[in-house]
Amino acid sequence: MRVIPVPCLSDNYAYVLVDDDTKQVTAIDPVEPEKVLAVIKDTAMSFNTVLTTHHHTDHSGGNTRMAALVPGLCVYGGDNRIPAMTQQLKDGDEFTLGSLRVRAIQTFGHTTSSICYYIRGKDGEKGVVFTGDTLFVGGCGRLFEGSPEDMHESLNERLAKLPADTLVYAGHEYTNSNLRFARSVDPDNQELKEKAERCAKLACTMPSSIAEELATNPFMRVDQPALQIAASRTSAIDVLGELRRMKDSF
């Protein structure tokens, strides 16, 4: 299993997921279809599936064009606002893509259409999760259609329980600004400092991992005293909500 990031628009990522065993590829959020199809062509593999993380146009806006270019395309998504959707998913749905096993994780907070895709390959191989705008490297999405409680459940009850070595592929290259905010509220976190220094040198900061996010992402550390002090709150949900409010104006 391989993942190829495809930079799109100003700071988005689409992804091409490669199953080398069965010579199949899958596209995640192919908002610029021609650009993604050029990468797929280079793999010389079969393509007929799109995974959509949520309905916002900068993620799903390429679906209709992609479906026109690829007859018989299967498009997965979380609700009926997903363009060209052929398969609607609910939390916990599982299916296969070639030799890869996929589990849909419903992650409310950013939108109520948000689905993260946890994908496993061969035994012993690290899993991957495509998180759209729910979990970013060092951050989380704005709360457009959900509450701090929703986002807390998505991040800290659902995604946090994935295997620690799961590789995280987020929907935007927001990492450096996210980590600047993270350091402002968690200044004594040495792992965060080191991650920020590494990422500052990278054009593409994907992937992270669940373990790294648990150690450095303030929205997944809401039970830590430093973050409680920064937010002037004690309950995890209140800390997350206040940190999100602070980040919105950072």
Active-site residue flag, 152: no
Active-site residue flag, 150: no
Exposed / middle / buried, residue 237 (Cβ in 10 Å: 0-12, 13-18, 19+)? middle
Active-site residue flag, 19: no
55, 59, 150, 152: which is the annotated catalytic residue? 59
Q: Is 232 helix (H, G, I), strand (E, B) or coil?
A: coil
Active-site residue flag, 59: yes
Q: How many H helices and E strands in the chain?
A: 9, 14
19, 29, 54, 186: which is the annotated catalytic residue? 54
Q: Which residues pair with 47 in a beta bridge?
A: 25
- Give CA–CA dist 58/109, Å, rounded: 17
The secondary structure of residue 57, as a DSSP letter, is H
19, 29, 55, 133: which is the annotated catalytic residue? 133
Active-site residue flag, 172: yes
55, 110, 152, 186: which is the annotated catalytic residue? 110
Note whether 35 and 8 are within 8 A (CB). yes
19, 150, 172, 186: which is the annotated catalytic residue? 172
Active site residues: 54, 56, 58-59, 110, 133, 172
